[in-house]
Chains A and B, each alone.
Chain A
């Protein structure tokens, strides 16, 4: 599944948020990771940024969604490309989005063998 230009072509049922959100990187290191991703996938990252600024809590089934599980409740994943991910935490109260990871799809650690 490769996200493409059609990712943000689906109309959202919510009105476009004209005020916008403040989008931050958790650190200058994360911002650097993001800039590297922009150079690798310019078109998709432009769309990602637009999404974060306007509709960070709009879900696009299978592409932009909140992570499941209690540990990362409130965290959202944006699939920039088939191999790259952005993870972020939107805060509706302050209208701030905090991006804390931007880069290659993280690899899961192996689970311990079943005893």
Chain B
């Protein structure tokens, strides 16, 4: 069984060849690199060598198992978690844009933004999810969905804070002074 993949666009952006690579990984997850449990028992080393490069499907009677490197499996799990989180936030954003969100709700802070800004939030989340799915085998740090949500929430706090608004508004009312170098204080005798 092979996974059917399609080239898609999102927000006007075409998928790159790296994204096609990620689709190939998913193809291989259900691809025809099949070995039986008996083969695994007889030639475990060779099967593991194959699994280094791509997932291997192991069959036993009516069951099938995917053998893949642990970092790949870990990345896949993290991407799954990220997907759930993005879906949760996008559902809240849609609730906001349709004027059904109440301030006391868990995502009530989204009300600090207008619809245009909420759409930008959605775009940023989807972009992060796309970017993180490019290379499941990558050990490089990718944009963290939780960090993006955190940054937007912090931005909402700033938008809703009268103290912050007052500080921002009065920033040009008095003469600026050099910010004290902390080492001048920390190293005080």
Contacts and interface: CB of A to CB of B under 8 A. Distances in A.
Whether chain B is bound by chain A comes out as yes
Nearest to A102: B179
B117 A62 contact: no
B149 to A, nearest CB: 9
Interface residues of B, number: 51
Interface of A: 1, 22-31, 34-35, 38-39, 42, 45-46, 48-49, 52, 61-62, 65, 67-72, 75, 77, 79, 87, 89, 97-101, 105-114
B156 interface: yes
21 contacts: A27-B174, A28-B174, A31-B180, A34-B180, A42-B182, A45-B182, A49-B181, A61-B143, A62-B151, A65-B154, A67-B154, A68-B113, A79-B154, A87-B158, A100-B167, A101-B163, A106-B163, A111-B111, A113-B104, A114-B101, A114-B103
Contacts of A46: 182-183, 186
B161 A106 contact: yes
A98 B168 CA distance: 11
